[in-house]
Amino acid sequence: MKKLLPFIGTILLANVPLAEPNKAPINSSSALNSPQLVESIPGWHKFGALFVYIQTHWINILFLIVLLAIPTIFFLHYKVIGPKVFSHKGKKFLIFPPWQRVVHWIAAAGFILLVPTGFLIIYAKFFGGGSFIVFARYLHLIGAILFAIAFIPMTLMWFKEMLPQIWDIKWLLMLGGYLSKEKKEIPAAKFNAGQKMWYWIIVFGGFLMLLTGLLLYLRDFNIALLSTFNLNNLFGIDILRISIIVHLLLAVIIVTFFFTHLYMSIFAIKGAIASMIDGYKSEDELKHLHSIFYKKLINKEEKF
Amino acid sequence: MYEYARMKFYCDENRCIECNACTIACAEAHELPVGINRRKVITLNEGIEGKEFSTSIACMHCTDAPCSQVCPVECFYIREDGIVLHDKDKCIGCGYCLYACPFGAPQFPKDGAFGIRGKMDKCTLCAGGPLPTNSIEEFELYGQNRIAEGKVPMCAAVCSTNALIVGDADSVAEIIRARNAAKGKGTSSPYGWDIAYK
């Protein structure tokens, strides 16, 4: 141990920032406080101007459409066409084992925090701004952490079942049979094409949201990574601008699908949410909504 | 007709000697915490003969300031003399002003346990904020209000080579013209001015 002391001392000293009394704290690894800051000024016309345009012209309108139009469409669908009701008596099949449900609900808890707080930040003026919205930003971060925890297990656990299959085209053409009240067999395996779209939006979109959100959170980061990707003409501030544009526009798509997911599971198919609570789906529901999966299940059972 | 002055910053790259007096004076005058750099001195092409120059940069108090356009709480207000100020009571620290700013002026302290961005802080051209002029609350949130006292902003006041100039647009332009003429140069717009001022 005594022999190691000089080494420990060197390491400790190396981490002590030596003050330069005549210099402002300019950090060469900083993207916002280095020659980059001046070099990036003429480049403002690229992404800086684009962000100003998008934020001033589109963001409020787009999210207002999502917030008002999507629920209106679903309300009309509920009133005109009506929900699908399946018998929840009789035989039940275990669809989601407990660990899958846990992962799902961690991601769901993340979303329940992320989406409303995201709206609070975008319409901060309407809610008065100040410390209330700062609190919403804290919750947004907690939501992101919850979603990040569930992201990798959720991607892996359903990956195989979520790969596109040929009958998904048929599902998309008939929009999953949601435009009529008629009960018929809808072509879908364990997950239908709509669920698959939601899954892939979460996998790619969710990854991009986590990445851009992390960059925005870090704000001033070492851009050594950029030179490895040969992106030297991009400045740190441009990365932040691209991140916020991607984060905002992707949120429009993800929130739209999130509302659809909520409507489908809670309202459009009566009792569908039960399968995510106790893990079981009823025979009637499987037969109609996941006909291909149901036939496979039945074949398997007959074999045994 | 009475016309208001239009306040502008100008840093003469030919005169700036990278002494950092403006940044230190700014930080001291407004009692800024560590990590908040309202004004920065930056040297470009360091070590390359003939190409090296330094410049001092802070909020330029732009025309149609992009930060005020993108702010989701509209906490910015632009005074009649063109000084862009903001209300920290409304600010939510979302960082949009930083993404919109061509000059990287908005500064964010790390706030709370999660280290997220706190409320934005930036150069006020020593004109304080929306709180009562020269009150203690105003000083604590925004720093000195030297404009209200008829003083020159701190950074320009301490500039030993008169590289950093602040004042009414016409007066600043007059000085730039005189300096360029003395060197036998034609009229040229200072770096970044085409983006800041329309």
pLDDT tens readout for residues B83-104: 999 999 999 999 999 999 999 9
Judge: A130–B90 Cβ closer than 8 Å, yes or no: yes
Residue from A81, A165, A67 nearest A119 by CA: A67
Average pLDDT over all residues of chain B: 91
Taking the CA of residue B10 and the nearest CA in chain A, the distance in Å comes to: 14
Name the domain count of chain B. 1
What average pLDDT does range B21-43 have in this prediction? Answer: 92
Q: How confident is the model at residue A29 (pLDDT cuts 50, 70, 90)?
A: low
> Does the pLDDT at position A143 exceed 90?
yes
Instruction: Tell me which residues of chain B, numbers 86 to 125, contact chain A at a CB-CB cutoff of 8 Å.
Output: 89-96, 98-104, 108, 111-112, 114, 116-117, 119
Residue from B41, B13, B44, B14 nearest B27 by CA: B41
Among candidates B43, B90, B93 on the partner chain, residue whose Cβ is nearest the Cβ of A137: B93
The whole-angstrom separation of Cα B65 and Cα B76 is 9
Which domain range does residue B108 map to? 7-196
Contacts of A247 in chain B (CB under 8 A): none
At A227-256, the pLDDT tens digits run 566 565 567 788 899 999 999 999 999 999
Closest A-chain CA to B196: A41
Residue from A252, A303, A215, A268 nearest A66 by CA: A252
Say if CB A134 and CB B92 are below 8 A apart: yes
Judge: A34–B103 Cβ closer than 8 Å, yes or no: no
What average pLDDT does range B64-69 have in this prediction? Answer: 94
Judge: B195–A41 Cβ closer than 8 Å, yes or no: yes
Taking the CA of residue B143 and the nearest CA in chain A, the distance in Å comes to: 18
Closest A-chain CA to B33: A25
Mutate to test the interface with B, among A47, A134, A248 (most CBs of B within 10 A): A134
Between B22 and A36, where is the model more confident?
B22
Q: For residue A235, give Cα distances in angstroms to A51, A93, A154, A196, B28.
A: 15, 54, 34, 36, 30
> Does the pLDDT at position A60 exceed 80?
yes
Instruction: Tell me which residues of chain B, numbers 32 to 71, contact chain A at a CB-CB cutoff of 8 Å.
Output: 34-35, 37, 40-44, 46, 55, 57, 66, 69-70
Judge: A34–B19 Cβ closer than 8 Å, yes or no: no
Q: How many alpha carbons fall within 13 Å on the CB side of residue B96? A: 29
Taking the CA of residue B154 and the nearest CA in chain A, the distance in Å comes to: 16
At A225, is the secondary structure helix, strand, or coil?
A: helix
Task: Specify the pLDDT at position A174.
Answer: 85
How wide is the angle at C-alpha A186 spanned by C-alphas A184 and A192, nearest 5°?
150
Contacts of B111 in chain A (CB under 8 A): 134
Task: Specify the pLDDT at position A21.
Answer: 41
| Domain at A165-221+233-304, CATH homologous superfamily | Transmembrane di-heme cytochromes, Chain C (1.20.950.20)
The answer to whether residue B95 sits within a structural domain is yes
CATH number at B161 reads 3.30.70.20
User: A with B: how many residue pairs have Cβ under 8 Å apart?
Assistant: 119
Q: How many alpha carbons fall within 13 Å on the CB side of residue B180? A: 12
Domain extent listing, chain A: 96-157, 165-221+233-304
Distance from the Cα of residue A82 to its chain's centroid: 29
Judge: A51–B70 Cβ closer than 8 Å, yes or no: yes
What average pLDDT does range B106-116 have in this prediction? Answer: 82
The answer to whether residue B39 sits within a structural domain is yes
> Does the pLDDT at position A223 exceed 70?
no
Q: For residue B33, give Cα distances in angstroms to B59, B97, B190.
A: 18, 20, 31
Q: What is the percentage of chain B residues whose pLDDT exceeds 90?
A: 71
Listed in sequence order, the residues at least 6 apart from A182 whose beta carbon sits closer than 8 Å to its beta carbon are none
Q: How confident is the model at residue B1 (pLDDT cuts 50, 70, 90)?
A: very low
Mutate to test the interface with A, among B59, B94, B111, B141 (most CBs of A within 10 A): B94
Q: What is the percentage of chain B residues whose pLDDT exceeds 70?
A: 97
The answer to whether residue B2 sits within a structural domain is no
Closest A-chain CA to B39: A24
